[in-house]
């Protein structure tokens, strides 16, 4: 089936918007390619924040080319990585007309152009044949491996039986020598190769240096060698895409996701340091460092999707038989989170398993129930109120955004409240002034408190 032709009006609208952004700030970047009929063929863009983030955190780049969810069936390819706080960061986005080698080479070269030809140390991809070939051409000296989430999906599709799948997973995860891998591989093939999986196994063997721990365990991938969810950082940009989405809609969607990721990163960096005293934050930081040693292998919801109970099964990667159960129920001030390790009950601080479940649920703030008052800094009542309202507001806004009428009602209420509040301030002659000396360093354990003073006019 031929790909639908891109509407010229949509393409012109997107290109005009990207040109306007570059005129406003020359550090914004976009580049595009037209086909023989002068229609948009390939497009890449990156704003100034994305480019700056790359120069700080672009040593490992993840990109997934398998999502074709828009009305033109064009692959949407976000380039993402991890910040120094191990939170997702966006380096740019691309749209390509097809999954050919030429399109991928164009995309990767354009990405390099946006970052002043600074190649990443390592890249993680979905492992498609054309992608693998393009990486060899454009990033010949970079480490390359296939995202373990995609490997896992292929295992589920092509291998049958728990024992067979686990034996193959051991080839993915066990850091043996290349010689030992070869011996184990041929033993696996002798037992489990069938007419149905022969072609896939031959293809995987040809790409063994891109997924087997025997070849990739000692290379620099920021500890993502076995972390399926961390490697799929781009999934949050793919969430919300649909087959009827236009190019302007896709641009707006990417903008909204990028802003959300940056906002969550800022909030997440500040949350723990501002909640806890320095001594308790030091202990909590040790738990945060251990998150990557665990992963959520199963998450189940019971009752109402927002107000019901959620149970996460968390596994220790090095000993996958060691399981922990994290149970979350309620919301806001009534929220309760428990882990089977009982660390929270014993020591009053959230454990690495709870933090792992939070990350799985895309939560960037320490829940109120996991920050006992005796562990917190004293006197920051405003921050405690703000934290509680942010948690409640997040749930309200998520629900209201799904219904046009509820969205309108909530929006009008908030606008009316702000108008009334501003009218009171104007009537009293008071002006809200923010202390310009307020720090914004998330790495510090000193609380960052914006002090608002009312000065009589």
* DSSP codes joined into one string, 88-136: EEEEEEEE-SSS-HHHHHHHHHHHHHHTTT---SEEEE---HHHHHHHH
**Judgement on whether residues 102 and 25 belong to the same structural domain of the protein:** yes
pLDDT at position 437 is 38
Structure tokens that stand for 385 in this block: 């109120």
Q: Which whole number is the average pLDDT over 308-321?
A: 80
| 265 located within any domain | no
| 452 located within any domain | yes
Q: Could you tell me what percent of the chain has a pLDDT over 90?
A: 35
Query: Alpha carbon 9 to chain centroid distance?
Result: 32
Residue 296 contacts residue 230 (beta carbons within 8 Å): no
pLDDT at position 191 is 94
Q: Which whole number is the average pLDDT over 75-82?
A: 88
**Which stretches of 260-392 are assigned E, i.e. beta strand?**
294-302, 309-316, 319-329, 336-339
72 — pLDDT class (breaks 50, 70, 90): confident
177 — pLDDT class (breaks 50, 70, 90): very high
Residue 207 contacts residue 234 (beta carbons within 8 Å): no
Which SS3 state, helix, strand or coil, does residue 342 take? coil
| 253 located within any domain | no
**How many independent structural domains does the chain possess?**
3
CA distance 168 to 164: 6
Backbone angles phi, psi at 266, to 5 degrees: -65, -45
**Which stretches of 208-318 are assigned E, i.e. beta strand?**
294-302, 309-316
239 — pLDDT class (breaks 50, 70, 90): low
Query: Alpha carbon 376 to chain centroid distance?
Result: 29
212 — pLDDT class (breaks 50, 70, 90): very high
Q: Which of 357, 390, 423 is the last residue of a domain?
A: 390
Q: Which whole number is the average pLDDT over 2-11?
A: 78
Is the pLDDT score of 148 beyond 90?
Answer: no
Nearest to 209 by CA among 183, 174, 172, 166: 172
Nearest to 18 by CA among 43, 38, 41: 43
Q: Which whole number is the average pLDDT over 283-292?
A: 79
Q: Which of 351, 368, 390 is the last residue of a domain?
A: 390
| 382 located within any domain | yes
pLDDT at position 271 is 62
Is the pLDDT score of 236 beyond 60?
Answer: no
Q: Which whole number is the average pLDDT over 69-75?
A: 77
Q: How many CA atoms lie within 13 A of 361 on its CB side?
A: 24
Kindly report the length of the chain.
Answer: 457
CA distance 255 to 17: 12
Domain assignment of residue 443, given as a range:
403-456
Structure tokens that stand for 123 in this block: 């890249």
| 445 located within any domain | yes
Bridge partners (DSSP) of residue 122 are 60, 143
pLDDT at position 190 is 94
**Judgement on whether residues 304 and 196 belong to the same structural domain of the protein:** no
Q: Residue 225 class from Cβ within 10 Å (0-12 exposed, 13-18 middle, 19+ buried)?
A: buried
| 307 located within any domain | yes
**Judgement on whether residues 428 and 370 belong to the same structural domain of the protein:** no
**Judgement on whether residues 372 and 420 belong to the same structural domain of the protein:** no
**Judgement on whether residues 204 and 311 belong to the same structural domain of the protein:** no
- Of the listed ranges 38-47, 83-92, 152-161, 236-245, the one predicted with least confidence: 236-245
**Judgement on whether residues 107 and 237 belong to the same structural domain of the protein:** yes
**Judgement on whether residues 201 and 287 belong to the same structural domain of the protein:** no
**Judgement on whether residues 84 and 172 belong to the same structural domain of the protein:** yes
For the ranges 178-187, 213-222, 367-376, 430-439, the one whose mean pLDDT is highest: 178-187
CA distance 86 to 224: 11
| 256 located within any domain | no
pLDDT at position 96 is 92
Q: Which whole number is the average pLDDT over 402-410?
A: 87
Q: Which whole number is the average pLDDT over 194-210?
A: 95
Cut 0.85: pTM above it: no
pLDDT at position 308 is 65
Nearest to 49 by CA among 21, 77, 11: 21
- Residue-wise pLDDT for 19-56, tens only, equals 999 998 889 999 999 988 888 999 999 999 999 999 98
Neighbours of 229 (CB within 10 A): 15
- Share the mean pLDDT of the chain: 80
Nearest to 15 by CA among 42, 52, 51: 42
373 — pLDDT class (breaks 50, 70, 90): confident
**Judgement on whether residues 421 and 375 belong to the same structural domain of the protein:** no
Q: How many CA atoms lie within 13 A of 224 on its CB side?
A: 29
pLDDT at position 384 is 62
Close Cβ partners of 284 (under 8 Å, ≥ 6 residues apart): 272, 276, 349, 350
Q: Which residue has the higher pLDDT, 377 or 281?
A: 281
Q: Which residue has the higher pLDDT, 299 or 433?
A: 299
**Judgement on whether residues 164 and 222 belong to the same structural domain of the protein:** yes
CA distance 351 to 355: 6
**Judgement on whether residues 411 and 352 belong to the same structural domain of the protein:** no
**Judgement on whether residues 190 and 281 belong to the same structural domain of the protein:** no
Q: What is the largest CA-CA distance in the chain?
A: 85
Bridge partners (DSSP) of residue 93 are 45, 78
Q: Which residue has the higher pLDDT, 366 or 268?
A: 366
| 270 located within any domain | no
């Amino acid at each position: 089936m031929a790909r639908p032709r891109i509407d010229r009006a949509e393409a012109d609208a997107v290109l005009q918007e990207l040109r306007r952004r570059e005129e406003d700030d020359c550090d914004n970047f976009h580049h595009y390619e037209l086909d023989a009929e002068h229609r948009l063929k390939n497009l890449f863009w990156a704003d100034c924040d994305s480019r700056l983030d790359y120069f700080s955190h672009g040593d490992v780049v993840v990109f997934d080319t398998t999502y074709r969810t828009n009305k033109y069936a064009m692959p949407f390819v976000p380039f993402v990585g991890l910040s120094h706080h191990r939170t997702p960061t966006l380096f740019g986005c691309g749209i390509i007309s097809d999954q050919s080698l030429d399109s991928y080479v164009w995309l990767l070269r354009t990405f390099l152009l946006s970052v002043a030809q600074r190649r990443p140390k390592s890249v993680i991809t979905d492992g498609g044949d054309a992608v693998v070939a393009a990486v060899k051409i454009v990033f010949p000296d970079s480490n390359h491996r296939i995202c373990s989430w995609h490997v896992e999906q292929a295992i589920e599709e092509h291998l049958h039986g728990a024992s067979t799948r686990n034996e193959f997973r051991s080839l993915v995860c066990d850091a043996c020598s290349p010689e030992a891998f070869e011996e184990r591989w041929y033993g696996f093939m002798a037992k489990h190769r069938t007419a149905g999986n022969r072609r896939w196994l031959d293809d995987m063997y040809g790409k063994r240096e891109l997924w087997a721990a025997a070849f990739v365990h000692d290379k620099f991938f920021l500890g993502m060698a076995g972390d399926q969810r961390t490697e799929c950082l781009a999934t949050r940009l793919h969430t919300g895409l649909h087959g009827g989405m236009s190019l302007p809609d896709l641009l707006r969607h990417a903008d909204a996701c990028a802003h959300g990721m940056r906002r969550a990163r800022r909030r997440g960096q500040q949350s723990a340091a501002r909640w806890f005293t320095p001594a308790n934050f030091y202990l909590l930081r040790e738990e945060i460092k251990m998150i990557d040693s665990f992963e959520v292998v199963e998450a189940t919801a019971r009752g109402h999707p927002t107000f019901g109970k959620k149970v996460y099964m968390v596994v220790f990667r090095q000993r996958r038989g060691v399981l922990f159960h994290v149970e979350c129920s309620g919301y806001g001030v009534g929220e309760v989170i428990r882990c089977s390790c009982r660390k929270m009950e014993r020591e009053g601080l959230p454990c690495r398993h709870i933090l792992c479940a939070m990350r799985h649920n895309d939560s960037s703030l320490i829940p109120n129930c996991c920050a006992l008052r005796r562990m917190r800094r004293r006197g920051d009542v405003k921050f405690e109120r703000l934290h509680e309202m942010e948690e409640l507001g997040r749930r309200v806004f998520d629900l209201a955004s799904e219904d046009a009428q509820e969205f309108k009602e909530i929006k009008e209420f908030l606008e009316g409240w702000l108008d009334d509040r501003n009218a009171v301030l104007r009537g009293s002659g008071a002006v809200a002034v923010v202390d310009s000396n307020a720090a914004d360093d998330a790495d510090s354990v000193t609380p960052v408190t914006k002090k608002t003073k009312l000065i009589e006019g």
